[in-house]
Structure 1
Amino acid sequence: MSKVHPPPSAAIDPDPSRSWLRRAWPLVRAHKWMFGTALVTSGASTLVAVQVPKVIQEALDNSVVADRVPLSHYVWWLVALTVIMLVVGYLSKQLLFRAAARIEYDLRNMVYAHLTGLSFPFYDRVQSGQLISRANSDIRTVQMYLGFAPYLLVQCGVSLVAFVYMLAINVPLAVMAMLPMPLFYVASKRMQRSMFPVSWLIQARLADVATVVDENVNGVRVVKSFAAERNQLSLLQKAATRVRWAYVKDADLRARWTPLVQNLPSVSMAIVLLYGGHLVIEGSLGIGAIVAFSSYLLMLQVPFRVLGKLITFGQRASAAAKRLYEVLDEKPEIVDAPGALELTGARGDVEFKDVRFGYGDGPDVLDGFSLRLRGGETVALVGRTGSGKSTVARLLPRFYDVREGAVIVDGHDVRELALHSLRDAVGIVLDEPFLFSASVRDNIAYGRPDSGIADIERVARLAGAHGFIGELSEGYDTVIGERGYTLSGGQRQRIAIARTLLVNPPVLVLDDATSAIDVQVEQEIHAGLRTLFSGRTTLIIAHRPSTISLADRVVLLDGGRVVADGTHTELLASTPLYAEVLAQADERVKELEGTGR
């Protein structure tokens, strides 16, 4: 049994009008105790660090210049302060890294859960590489900023404490040291405005690269079969060049603004040396004081250098977060209606009633399609390529909603039924089944992970898969390659059939599910399927007469509607189009067999 992991601790604020940080705040707040403790310990470390210049000042004034206190006294103080900073710093970093990891966990789970809830129309229009990029690099960028920006800001708080100590030493000198700060503020704001568009561009173009790579990895067999490696490499180079341009532009902006932002405090150092040195020469300021003052000024410089990087990183995080929010703000189109009914004890009575449907804004694929499948009946749906057969299979479990008409199961419009109960009742085996990079056992038991090996072997035998599985290196424990490409097309289809049969749905749809299986093996599978079809409503989308022979009746689809309905023999005798469709399918099968599929 798979381990149950905790859900995300919080969700983002759903209000799109708020800033990205305001929307992300619930994620940080969910870990407030860990985050708060990390920031408090970090602040404590900062306060301890600020004491070091003061100890050095007193050591110089009382031990080196006046020789009133043994120097070892201050040495031990410095050792003690160092130990405290080490311990507190360790606790701070430990808690901070844990909090950041938990934020990343929440983000990843939140995005994945949202993606699994989105409807098929969303995936029809969005590239998978874009989603992979947002679910990886964008999440990482946001997590790094949310996790470490507060820590860096606390560290920047050392500047305020240091400035207080500077005022305690000499007010005019402290004020003069801060004269360049307004210029720093103006420069940082201009840097922020100029870098955001480029940061967005970088994230978007990285996603383009991820899309090219994803398509080439998944379609490597097509690429190699057409010897198109050079063309694909050229596509990748173009995408990479666009990324390089964005990175160069980003580097140009950082080269223009970062040195100014980071080095403005050096002007303060020059002022301190000029005016502070004059005070020392006049005797109104001690050597220890000017050394401590210079140390505090150095502490001021570190936050300003950090702020420059923080601004840059913040713009990238902002761009990444907004790209993530584009996905998280996407609403699923296929959802449960208020008060949706649970489909329990399904009889398998299915009806398509005057259905009109098309994908997106495209033309109608089905136009006035009507079909009734009585409970326990097996119906074969036949038609030319593009006639809408697979579309019928997708409408039954409500992967899409019809434009007009209705799909009815057991007297209920599928839009009135709870999605999970409807899809539990309808099992689908596609002509191009997807298998996971897991063992054969896990792939078959995907719908029922707790199934025992006896049940898994039973359905594998019914699907004609037990024989070849036994010949694999580790039998049912053999891990198959990505998408199951270490198996033949027919072997993948047989595992997919077994996977669906294990769930034992009252309504079964076979969408050309044996198209890659040779006729001899198909006959063996049919023997098992005939037993399973008993008492189960089955819709078979097929072209082969051997598969069609499993059906009680045959329905011919053309132009998005039913044009003939009867037995195989009746349609051959009365409908020339039916014989033509079968002849075309037979030619296609011969072509596939000739290619060695």
Structure 2
Amino acid sequence: MQIRELPYADPGVPDVRSGTRFLLWLGRNQLGGQVKAMLWGLLLQLGIAGLPLGVGFAVQAVVDGSGGRLALAGGLIALLGVVIAVGDAMLHRVAVTNWITAAARVQQLLSRKTAELGSVLTRRVAAGEVVAVSTGDVEKIGWFVEALSRFAAAALTLVLVCVGLVVYQPALGAVVAAGVPVLALAVLPLLPRATKRADEQREKAGRATELASDTVAGLRVLRGIGGEELFLGRYRAASQEVRRAAVRSARMWALIAAVQVVLPGLLLLAVVAYGARLALDGRIAVGELVTVYGMVALTYQPLRHFEEIAMAYSFSKPSARRAARVLSLKRTTTTSDERAHTRATALGGDLYDPATGVLAPAGLLTAVVCGDPDAAGRLADRLGGHPAEPDEAHASVLLGAVPLDELPLGTARTAVLVQDKDPVLLSGTLRELLDVPSSGKIAAAQALDAAQCGDVLEALAQASVDTDGDPMRTRITERGRSLSGGQRQRLALARSLVTDPEVLVLDEPTSAVDSHTESRIAAGVARLRQGRTTVVLASSPLLLDRADRVVLVHEGQAVAVGTHRELLRTEPRYRSVVTRETDEELADLKALDDEIVDELDDELELAEAEGESA
């Protein structure tokens, strides 16, 4: 896989049973790149390890006074220099490719999962954790994938060096062969503690990221209630915890690095001392001693890869565990694709949620009133085939006779479109914003008119860089930050209306607009969606009065159905939600009603008595 071929046509189905299994799955998918990097790394390491051999030949040639062998040694050193240059350049190229392609695969998987779950994702996983996984964790996972091949090349190089030294100079080679495994494994007892401290650091960093993300998301509310300093203090405390954990982690890795420096130095001293005695005794030549010394000195570099792979694994394992946790989330428990595609041909009919008892008859505008806004959001997700909790999957929402969780994601979203209470506008022109998959029956102008976007079009026309002031060609900034909350909400509503799905679910579509605009939007939506199934979760009387039927959901169950005015007269719980009356006010109102009724009864009895006396 080359970088120019990204993104992947299909990133595959990951093994998310654990973080380690996820890393192994990534490694298997990068097998070709890993083998290439290992071979180039082996060429580089052997080229470096061969330099002492050339130097030893040169030293021995000088001692023996042989010009021919000196020239040959010089040619060997020059050749090894070329090998090192080529190996280093190609290793870096292939290793970085492995890193980027692995990171891109993980990001594609995360993007696919985000698109699959939609707003439900942040109900199951904290937004800060999603941000941490898609940024820092992806980099750490890519680092491990990239370091793995270089570690394999380094380990294989050490084995070949030890075998070569035993063959080249058995006496000193045996010392090196015995010492190198000790050097490579010496840091193992320190790794569990280092890994534990690294996990603690990342856990605290993840909590700090979540706190920062939540604080930024609610900054406007915090300013309104004067809570900025409170949350700032919390973030300062969390940040200091991260700093202290990072220092503790760094101390362990510094100790491991020190061990990797000290032990090779001790081995080098032992080789020099023993080799000098052998040279004095005439058992080895000076050139052989120089060769062995150089090879032992250069083992420091491949040994550093043992430290790096340990560090990369300890950092990437929790990252892979978090990524696997996000990727393991499922929309619902699905059946086979064959069954889903068979049922997809018969889509249509009433929308029914068995868990709450909410029924939205086909072709009607149904309003749902929930006293709890969070419950309304969860209900909207359920009606779109995305239960907020996995254990809700046993009561799948039905469209006609078809459970939505048995449909492929694309089919389900084509049939039922859910507009969240806080919809997102992507950057681009207004024409691009409204250029969405649709039935083609609703024009953009009709949708914009129904959503009462006249002032939005005027504002975009004024901001247009075109001489004709075409608002459709005006660029909207990321998330619509240049627009007010009401303008963003109305543009999102227009986008949903253009789509013209079989079923449209709107969660508080007019919460950010004034009452006059809300009244016109209610009329426009009712007119444009006539004959199509529409569900509006709201508590605004202006919207509720336009609905064909209204369902009251209380404590997770549909408890009353009727028109808005019927429920106002007959259902106190409905009246308390819609009119915002408190229990005391309802009690006072009921007492007043009873008092008026008693007075009317008294007057009626008095009138009857007077009539009898007359």
TM-score calculated relative to the size of structure 1: 0.83
Whichever structure has more helix as a proportion of its residues is 2
Do structure 1's residue 429 and structure 2's residue 419 form an aligned pair?
A: yes
Partner-residue secondary structure (3-state), 1:269 = helix
- Render the CA deviation track for 1:363-402: whole Å, top value 9, x for unaligned: xxx4xx454x433222333464569655554432232286
Check whether the contact 1:336–1:418 (CA below 8 A) recurs between aligned residues: no
Question: In structure 2, what is the equivalent of residue 525 of structure 1?
Answer: 521
Aligned residues between the structures: 565
- Render the CA deviation track for 1:16-37: whole Å, top value 9, x for unaligned: 4xx82x6533433333333323
Distance change >3 Å, CA 439–CA 98, structure 1 → 2: same
Mean alpha-carbon deviation: is it higher for 437-446 or for 198-207?
437-446
Decide which of 548, 567, 571 is 2:544's aligned counterpart: 548
The structural deviation recorded for 1:118 is: 4.8
Partner-residue secondary structure (3-state), 1:434 = coil
Q: Write the letter of the residue equivalent to 1:459.
A: A
Do structure 1's residue 374 and structure 2's residue 376 form an aligned pair?
A: no
Q: Write the letter of the residue equivalent to 1:399.
A: H
Do structure 1's residue 511 and structure 2's residue 512 form an aligned pair?
A: no
Distance change >3 Å, CA 166–CA 456, structure 1 → 2: same
State the alpha-carbon separation in 1 of the partners of residues 348 and 13 from structure 2.
Answer: 40
Check whether the contact 1:337–1:415 (CA below 8 A) recurs between aligned residues: no
- Render the CA deviation track for 1:177-236: whole Å, top value 9, x for unaligned: 455446435532202222221222222222112112211222221233334333222222
Do structure 1's residue 311 and structure 2's residue 307 form an aligned pair?
A: no
Distance change >3 Å, CA 523–CA 305, structure 1 → 2: closer
Question: In structure 1, what is the equivalent of residue 598 of structure 2?
Answer: none
Distance change >3 Å, CA 553–CA 104, structure 1 → 2: closer
Q: Write the letter of the residue equivalent to 2:383.
A: L
Q: Which runs of 5+ in 2 are unaligned?
A: 465-470, 583-614
The structural deviation recorded for 1:267 is: 1.6
Distance change >3 Å, CA 443–CA 247, structure 1 → 2: same
Q: Write the letter of the residue equivalent to 2:452.
A: G
Check whether the contact 2:366–2:535 (CA below 8 A) recurs between aligned residues: yes
State the alpha-carbon separation in 1 of the partners of residues 114 and 163 from structure 2.
Answer: 51
Do structure 1's residue 7 and structure 2's residue 6 form an aligned pair?
A: no
Question: In structure 2, what is the equivalent of residue 398 of structure 1?
Answer: 385
State the alpha-carbon separation in 2 of the partners of residues 261 and 270 from structure 1.
Answer: 15
- Render the CA deviation track for 1:77-106: whole Å, top value 9, x for unaligned: 322331232123322322222122111111
Alignment of 1:246-395 (within 5 A): 246-336=245-335, 339-340=339-340, 341-344=342-345, 346-352=347-353, 355-356=354-355, 366=356, 369=357, 371=359, 373-382=360-369, 384-385=371-372, 392-395=379-382
Partner-residue secondary structure (3-state), 1:508 = strand
State the alpha-carbon separation in 2 of the partners of residues 403 and 102 from structure 1.
Answer: 35
Distance change >3 Å, CA 119–CA 217, structure 1 → 2: closer
Check whether the contact 1:145–1:314 (CA below 8 A) recurs between aligned residues: yes
Question: In structure 2, what is the equivalent of residue 590 of structure 1?
Answer: none
Question: In structure 1, what is the equivalent of residue 480 of structure 2?
Answer: 484
State the alpha-carbon separation in 1 of the partners of residues 51 and 134 from structure 2.
Answer: 44
Check whether the contact 2:332–2:405 (CA below 8 A) recurs between aligned residues: no
Distance change >3 Å, CA 560–CA 205, structure 1 → 2: closer
Partner-residue secondary structure (3-state), 1:200 = helix
Partner-residue secondary structure (3-state), 2:144 = helix
- Render the CA deviation track for 1:54-78: whole Å, top value 9, x for unaligned: 2222222224542442744533432
Partner-residue secondary structure (3-state), 1:498 = helix
Partner-residue secondary structure (3-state), 1:157 = helix
State the alpha-carbon separation in 2 of the partners of residues 370 and 316 from structure 1.
Answer: 47
- Render the CA deviation track for 1:245-283: whole Å, top value 9, x for unaligned: 222222222333432233212122212222222222333
Alignment of 1:86-485 (within 5 A): 86-118=85-117, 123-181=122-180, 183-184=182-183, 187-336=186-335, 339-340=339-340, 341-344=342-345, 346-352=347-353, 355-356=354-355, 366=356, 369=357, 371=359, 373-382=360-369, 384-385=371-372, 392-400=379-387, 407-414=397-404, 417-447=407-437, 455-472=443-460, 473-474=463-464, 475-485=471-481
Q: Percent identity at matched positions?
A: 23
Alignment of 1:534-545 (within 5 A): 534-545=530-541
Mean alpha-carbon deviation: is it higher for 489-498 or for 50-59?
50-59
State the alpha-carbon separation in 1 of the partners of residues 82 and 373 from structure 2.
Answer: 75
State the alpha-carbon separation in 2 of the partners of residues 574 and 581 from structure 1.
Answer: 13
The structural deviation recorded for 1:154 is: 0.8
Partner-residue secondary structure (3-state), 2:531 = coil
Question: In structure 2, what is the equivalent of residue 80 of structure 1?
Answer: 79
The structural deviation recorded for 1:346 is: 4.8
Distance change >3 Å, CA 283–CA 445, structure 1 → 2: same
Distance change >3 Å, CA 124–CA 575, structure 1 → 2: closer
Check whether the contact 1:387–1:560 (CA below 8 A) recurs between aligned residues: no
Distance change >3 Å, CA 192–CA 386, structure 1 → 2: closer
- Render the CA deviation track for 1:416-461: whole Å, top value 9, x for unaligned: 555543432223334433333444444433555x989x94344222
Mean alpha-carbon deviation: is it higher for 82-91 or for 413-422?
413-422
Alignment of 1:569-584 (within 5 A): 569-572=565-568, 574=570, 581-584=577-580
Check whether the contact 2:448–2:454 (CA below 8 A) recurs between aligned residues: yes
Q: Write the letter of the residue equivalent to 2:196.
A: P
Partner-residue secondary structure (3-state), 1:379 = strand
Check whether the contact 2:133–2:323 (CA below 8 A) recurs between aligned residues: yes
Question: In structure 2, what is the equivalent of residue 359 of structure 1?
Answer: none
State the alpha-carbon separation in 1 of the partners of residues 156 and 358 from structure 2.
Answer: 71
Check whether the contact 1:565–1:571 (CA below 8 A) recurs between aligned residues: yes
Question: In structure 1, what is the equivalent of residue 605 of structure 2?
Answer: none
Q: Write the letter of the residue equivalent to 2:148.
A: A
The structural deviation recorded for 1:123 is: 3.6
Do structure 1's residue 30 and structure 2's residue 29 form an aligned pair?
A: yes
Partner-residue secondary structure (3-state), 1:515 = coil
Distance change >3 Å, CA 440–CA 27, structure 1 → 2: same
The structural deviation recorded for 1:523 is: 4.1
- Render the CA deviation track for 1:316-364: whole Å, top value 9, x for unaligned: 2233323333333444445356723544475543345xx44xxxxxxxx
TM-score calculated relative to the size of structure 2: 0.81
Question: In structure 2, what is the equivalent of residue 45 of structure 1?
Answer: 44
Check whether the contact 2:45–2:302 (CA below 8 A) recurs between aligned residues: no
The structural deviation recorded for 1:528 is: 3.2
Check whether the contact 1:387–1:559 (CA below 8 A) recurs between aligned residues: no
Question: In structure 2, what is the equivalent of residue 361 of structure 1?
Answer: none
- Render the CA deviation track for 1:470-525: whole Å, top value 9, x for unaligned: 42223334444554343222212211211111110122333331232223333443
Q: Write the letter of the residue equivalent to 1:294.
A: Y
- Render the CA deviation track for 1:514-567: whole Å, top value 9, x for unaligned: 232223333443453343132112233344443233223444455555555444
Q: Write the letter of the residue equivalent to 1:238.
A: A
Distance change >3 Å, CA 160–CA 426, structure 1 → 2: closer
State the alpha-carbon separation in 1 of the partners of residues 431 and 301 from structure 2.
Answer: 57
Mean alpha-carbon deviation: is it higher for 266-275 or for 314-323?
314-323
Check whether the contact 2:545–2:565 (CA below 8 A) recurs between aligned residues: no
State the alpha-carbon separation in 2 of the partners of residues 391 and 436 from structure 1.
Answer: 24
Distance change >3 Å, CA 177–CA 41, structure 1 → 2: closer
Mean alpha-carbon deviation: is it higher for 266-275 or for 494-503?
266-275
Partner-residue secondary structure (3-state), 1:109 = helix
| RMSD over equivalenced CA pairs, Å | 3.5
State the alpha-carbon separation in 2 of the partners of residues 249 and 548 from structure 1.
Answer: 59
Partner-residue secondary structure (3-state), 1:428 = strand
